[in-house]
Amino acid sequence: MEERATILEAAKQLGIGIPMLCAWPEIGHNPGACRVCVSEVEGQRSLVASCVFTVGDGMVIRTNTERVRKARKMVVELLLADHPTECTSCVRSGNCELQAVAEQVGVREVRFAAEFPPKDKVIEVSSGAIVRDSRKCIHCHRCITVCEQIQTVSVLTPSWRGSDIKVGPPFNLPLNETNCVNCGQCINVCPVGALYECDDTVAVWKVLEDPAKHVVVQEAPAIRVALGEEFGMPVGSLVTGKMIAALRRLGFDKVFDTNWTADLTIMEEGSELLKRVKEGGKLPMLTSCSPGWIKFCEHFYPDLLDNISTCKSPQQMFGAMAKTYYAETAGIDPKDLVVVSVMPCTAKKFECRRPEMGDSGYQDVDYVLTTRELARMIREAGIDFVNLPDEDYDAPMGEYTGAATIFGATGGVMEAALRTAYVLVTGENLGDLNVLPVRGLDGVKEATVPVKGIGDVKVAVAHGLGNARKLLDKVQAGEGGYHFIEIMACPGGCVGGGGQPQPITDAKRTLRAQALYMDDQDVQQYRQSHENPSIQKAYETFLEKPLGHKSHKLLHTHYTRRGVELPHKK
């Protein structure tokens, strides 16, 4: 029997907008908890939650009666009575679902005061990546759902009851003492400002104003297809040139690109894969670009750590190369060089502070900004982003190929690696550089690529840690026969990262990814990482060769068995 629609779904089909806060239609999360979406059903004494009450033949439903309007307004007033009145200074100011719903239901005053304020409402910053401001939590349970059902990490849970209810880790643990992987997907679904990234803008402003510091910046590929949304541009706008211009106006001494080290990653990672295949190394090899995925594996699948590529992520490769190769080339003392990253990812804030990320002799990457933080800095500086003229990257770490830019979409790392690995083995290009089977938003994707001299190479791609768990369980069971697996922590890959403009939907993930594929196919001169002239020069003059002594020291790393303090509920 086909599942019946809820009142909320049926109303939407008819063009009727019902206010909601806890519902998250994209994944069918309808807990009926907030009661904002109540409607009146003939024959029912009480008002019903539209997100959970299903419609039936002959049912008479009223979504706009005096009783309904009063009830919705009262629910929102009660929420606001127990909510900090910090709207003008809140990180979600102007983009807050509670603000929007209050306007929708017509709240002009709050008639209630919180008589029993919940206990233990704190601002918690222990992870260094994610801030939990439980004072602003409205108990919609969206963060619980994404953490448990989508990411299968299960760090967040409801505790206590009534006015004492709170959402957070069990036993009131700080995030840094849990299995939290810092992916930030909880931030993306939070309707208010109860979850957001640790802010590094103040520290970055400070170094930009320090004349003794030479400050360089790198930007992940997913930034250029999302940043425009913060300034009212259409979803999926490719704003590379405007982004570069804005960064220069903020005061960065050099504007480089993480894509440069994405190409470098493919040279190292592709060579590592071939070495493992030819010499009987640990297979399947797993990608290492996503720090949220790495920490997930360290907690939940420590027996697979030897399968992960030893390559650092492109962000961390960039930091190591900036403080050695670039510093040497430019004649700059690396102690005076500051590396700032702009990333779609909150987990990158954790990654840059991992103790092993200092092979340059210094902390390789000093500060990480999210897309949202960069947008705030641009607005603070009074820059008219939309009307900026396009500018180009600086040399030598700004040149990149189309293979690098598609790193931002799920399947992109795999596709880029296959393009170059095929050439390294056969001396020929793939028949079609567009590896379509690894594209798209299917949770797990597979492909088989025939390679002369090796045979069939079987690969798989997963995005979102729940999908990664399905794939890794197969690997542990000895199933699949894969040679190479790409895993990204965030749904959709980096385009859906925890630091991207909110809200995020599958439609937005798709449009952002399409813009990256367009950049690859229609904009870039080169589409394979080994074709990048400045990468070739870096090997000739500095690194010597992939997997060589110097590249291994600067560009490769190791991982930590963290164990499982709070196992996922199966």
Question: Which residues are designated catalytic?
Answer: 269, 272, 289, 309, 348, 351, 356, 494
Q: Are strands 254-255 and 285-286 parallel, antiparallel or unpaired?
A: unpaired
Q: How many CA atoms are closer than 13 Å to the CA of 287, on its beta-carbon side? A: 33
The total number of residues shown for the chain amounts to 570
| φ, ψ for residue 418, nearest 5 deg | -65, -40
User: Does residue 448 come out as left (phi exceeding 0), alpha (psi in the -120 to 50 range) or beta?
Assistant: beta
For residue 92, which amino acid is it?
Answer: R
Q: How many CA atoms are closer than 13 Å to the CA of 485, on its beta-carbon side? A: 26
Contacts 24+ apart (CB under 8 A), 105-112: 105/19, 105/36, 105/69, 105/72, 105/73, 105/76, 106/69, 106/73, 107/73, 107/76, 107/77, 107/80, 110/77, 110/80, 110/81, 111/77, 112/77, 112/78, 112/81
Peptide bond into 284 cis (omega under 30): yes
Q: What whole-number distance in Å separates Cα of residue 323 and Cα of residue 360?
A: 6
Q: Is 99 strand, coil or helix?
A: helix
Residue the block writes with tokens 């019902």:
18
CA angle, 437 as apex, 223 and 148 as ends, to 5°?
A: 60
Burial-class residue 240 by CB neighbours within 10 Å (0-12, 13-18, 19+). Answer: buried
Distances 90 to 109, 140, 232 between C-alpha atoms, Å: 19, 19, 20
Our measurement of the distance from residue 568's CA atom to the centroid of its chain's CA atoms, rounded to an integer in Å, reads 21
CA angle, 476 as apex, 471 and 480 as ends, to 5°?
A: 55
H helix runs in 477-548, sequence order: 506-518, 533-538
Q: What whole-number distance in Å separates Cα of residue 21 and Cα of residue 397?
A: 45
| Radius of gyration (C-alpha) of the chain in whole angstroms | 25
CA torsion 152-155-158-163 (nearest 10°) is: -150
Residue the block writes with tokens 């990608």:
287
DSSP for 310-373?
-BPPHHHHHHHHIIIIIHHHHT--GGGEEEEEEES-SHHHHHTT-TT--TTSS-S--EEEEHHH
Q: What whole-number distance in Å separates Cα of residue 59 and Cα of residue 448?
A: 52
Q: What whole-number distance in Å separates Cα of residue 270 and Cα of residue 422?
A: 9
CA angle, 74 as apex, 71 and 77 as ends, to 5°?
A: 155
